[in-house]
Structure 1
């Protein structure tokens, strides 16, 4: 059974050719357009159309979803927590201690392997396409696209800053001022290849933070990013002298939590294909909540 994506033409695109709309708005490559035309996979108002036809406001362009032949990873059975799902994308709540996708020596036991098994159980073959990553020890919202076109549209939204991700973290000590912005470039660590560091020759990196609550020896922060550098929140907080509790790479190990106390708890984005907003919150993992209780209890003593 063939599946199509429907696009209603907005006024600002009136006068473009079908081919120009596919390339400029939907970011299809020339090769993919050729493949679609061979399969008669482009319809305008439910009728076959040639690529140089000009489109008008209100027209409906239907584009065939080109099927995937594999998951790209090996499916493995394990529970996943679904925060949102529709025909185009799925959002999962990643546990701490899990990679988003196989990398390096790790080919199994990742969130992508478990998502592939979920698709397999539904009788669906869909390549696993994470739109962004979270560090292994960071928990929370991760977005996956279900097809290559939705992937391209979501990646465009991410580049434009239209996908808003908000984090919460428990840090060592108390920040002064309580609310602020860290604007410090991040680049490779001079002596440790797996780490990042604030570096005058690095890429621009901006992190906004707000103190939600201060405890005796720690604080709960809300953080949002203007940029998406590797380990950005962790590096910036360590740079301020207040690393995330349990961050072994940029701070120190903690007996109070397995992993680091960093959670991507909320996500807001415009739906890539429908005229509506998606707003989600990911429940906090148990180890984060236990640590928060400990901080609260120690502060009340």
Structure 2
């Protein structure tokens, strides 16, 4: 059971909807534009900072805190899980590759193959931009699955399964295919009319660090994605 009684309006974390909470974990739905964790430039505008403030109820002497397990890009919205103990953090991170992660995205263009797998080796350049390389010695293996849910003349709405969790993996893989994620100014979609990066973590299945039970957390497709898909007549894929 979630500890719903802990939710206080006064300390409700900014930009986050709490999906589930107990003594070991806290699962949230993050808005786009919010960092998962702070940086040297921006230490306070992050999910991690707001959740620490939430669990301590603003009391700097509190021993309560949250621990980072994984991250989403600032411009990606969706499900984030944080641990509330170091033991829970270690368990989740050690088993992270076994957990099931699904995303939804709106990308440019239409696909000949309405379902498929993308594989490559990813590395970073000196400007910290991720790209695919054929050099296995410097790249890390990345694997992404996709299925077309709906199409318009301009866009495709995809359900994406992340088999590996490399930095910017989804964005690079679909840019490589010539179908960059809508709103992605870094990897090739420069449509200025788009308000945000159309990438959302919609489903996460984990093993609970204490009960060892499988738990799945889900959100719906962001309304803005549906707005993009309804700009023109569409055709659904069954």
Q: 1:80 aligns with which of 10, 16, 39?
A: 16
**Structure 1 79/208 Cα, relative in aligned 2: closer, same or farther at 3 Å?**
closer
More RCO (CA 8 Å, sep 6+): 2
Query: Which is further off, 274-283 or 241-250?
Result: 274-283
Name 2:216's counterpart in structure 1.
279
In 1, the alpha carbon distance for the partners of 2:197 and 2:88 equals 32
Say if 2:82 is the partner of 1:148. Answer: no
CA RMSD across the alignment? 2.1
Aligned partner of 2:73 in structure 1 is 135
Contact residue 76 and residue 109 of structure 1 kept, 8 A: no
Match of 2:5 in 1: none
Q: 1:129: how far off?
A: 1.2
Gap regions ≥5 residues in structure 1: 1-74
Aligned with 1:185: secondary structure?
A: strand
User: 1:1-301 counterparts in 2 under 5 A?
Assistant: 78=14, 80-121=16-57, 125-158=63-96, 161-189=97-125, 193-201=127-135, 202-294=139-231, 297-299=232-234
Higher strand share: 2
CA–CA separation in structure 2 for the residues paired with 1:195 and 1:83: 32
Name the CA shift for 1:79/1:252 in 2 (closer, same or farther; >3 Å).
closer
Give the distance between the partners of 2:38 and 2:132, measured in 1 at CA.
Answer: 27
Aligned counterparts of 1:152 and 1:116: Cα–Cα separation in 2: 18
Structure with more of its chain in helix, by fraction:
1
Which runs of no fewer than 5 residues in structure 2 stay unpaired? 1-10
Contact 1:100-1:136 within 8 A present in 2 as well: yes
Q: Specify whether residues 104 and 293 from structure 1 end up closer, same or farther in structure 2 by C-alpha distance, changes over 3 A only.
A: farther
Structure whose CA Rg is larger = 1
